[in-house]
Structure 1
Amino acid sequence: MSEEKTHQGSCFCGAVQLAVKGEPEAMGYCHCEFCRHWSAGPINAFTLWKPEAVSIVSGAENIATYNKTPESYRKWCKTCGGHILTEHPSMGLTDVYAAVIPGLDFRPEVHVHYQETVLPVRDGLPKQKDVPAEMGGSGITLPE
């Protein structure tokens, strides 16, 4: 019997500690306007997990939440403002930002919402117009 690997993470100041267990459902890059604004960068690196694989180890009282839409509940640390994760209830997944989990071997598989990119990337990965069909998107792939 093998044990699932657990990765530790935290906000910028460390007041909020989290753990993810097992393997993410997907890893990649999001180019949508919301993620760009939220992350203050041209691309957001994501890791998607089943909600039961994500746990707040300490500092839950220090987490604030904002949702611009019902599809995304963005969470951050009230002390440092460091972004922690985004819950996506309609997808049944939680995005723990790749940068928050330093020990995870980040292996991106896809670019999503590439039609909104402001920083084209030529890395050979599929570029989805929105999101893959199995996640409720069009499944349309765009050229690099």
Structure 2
Amino acid sequence: MADKHTGKCFCGAVEIEVSGAPEAMGYCHCSSCRSWSAGPVNAFTLWKPDAVKVTKGKEFIGKFMKTPVSDRQYCTKCGGHVMTDHPPLGLTDVYAATLPSLGFKPGVHVNYAETVLRMKDGLPKLKDFPKEFGGSGESVPE
């Protein structure tokens, strides 16, 4: 895996760079992520905040914080979603689709109890979040 990956919003006004390896990759099935991503599931890559940097267009980043857990960031020019800071977790989610050169290797499904799209891929399916992130850590059937 390359040491650095770059991505951008839909129009290219905002560019980001991640370095190193993500802490985790997977899918979130919660209703908030589904609504925000306009899809039945959201593919995430989680990074330590110091591994993520905006390299262009910082002035075009808008934010929406529905809950204290997720500070969602998007481009104010095109509306393209870029990333979500998770302050209580000490992680930043850069959407998998935003990083085209990153080999997406999901390891888990979170909030699978809320799914609207069953995915039979053999990966662990968690009812909500891992215990380390304040969830039950409980697995549910595929």
TM-score range, shorter chain: over 0.9
2:26 is equivalent to residue 31 of structure 1: no
Quick check: 1:20 aligned with 2:18? yes
1:141 aligns to what SS in structure 2? Answer: coil
Q: TM-score, normalised by structure 2?
A: 0.98
Query: Which range moved further: 131-140 or 30-39?
Result: 131-140
Q: Deviations over 1:68-99 (max 9, x none)?
A: 11111000001111000000000000000000
Deviation at residue 27 of structure 1 after TM alignment: 0.1
**Structure 1 runs of 4+ with >4 Å offset:** none
Q: 1:118 aligns with which of 116, 131, 140?
A: 116
* Residue of structure 2 in register with 1:65 after alignment: 63
1:76 maps to 2:78: no
Gaps of 5+ in 2: none
Structure-2 separation of matches of 1:17 and 1:71: 24
1:124 deviates by: 0.2
**How far off is 1:18 after superposition?**
0.3
Per-residue deviation, 1:135 = 2.0
Q: Distance in 1 between matches of 2:88 and 2:131?
A: 14
Identify the residue that residue 102 of structure 2 maps to in structure 1. 104
Q: Alignment length, in residue pairs?
A: 141
Give 3-state SS (helix, strand or coil) of 2:88's partner: coil
Partner of 1:138: 136
Following TM superposition, by how much is the alpha carbon of 1:38 offset from its aligned partner in structure 2, in angstroms?
0.2
Give the letter for the 2:16 counterpart. L
CA distance in 1, matches of 2:123, 2:40: 17
Q: Which amino acid aligns with 2:112?
A: Y
Mark the runs of 5 or more structure 1 residues left unpaired by the alignment.
none
Q: Give the deviation of 1:133 after TM superposition.
A: 1.4
Matched, 1:127 2:115: no
Partners of 1:136 and 1:110 lie apart in 2 by: 16
Letter in 2 for 1:71: V
Q: 1:87 aligns with which of 85, 88, 92?
A: 85
Q: Specify the SS of the correspondent of 2:73.
A: strand
**What percent identity do the matched residue pairs reach?**
62
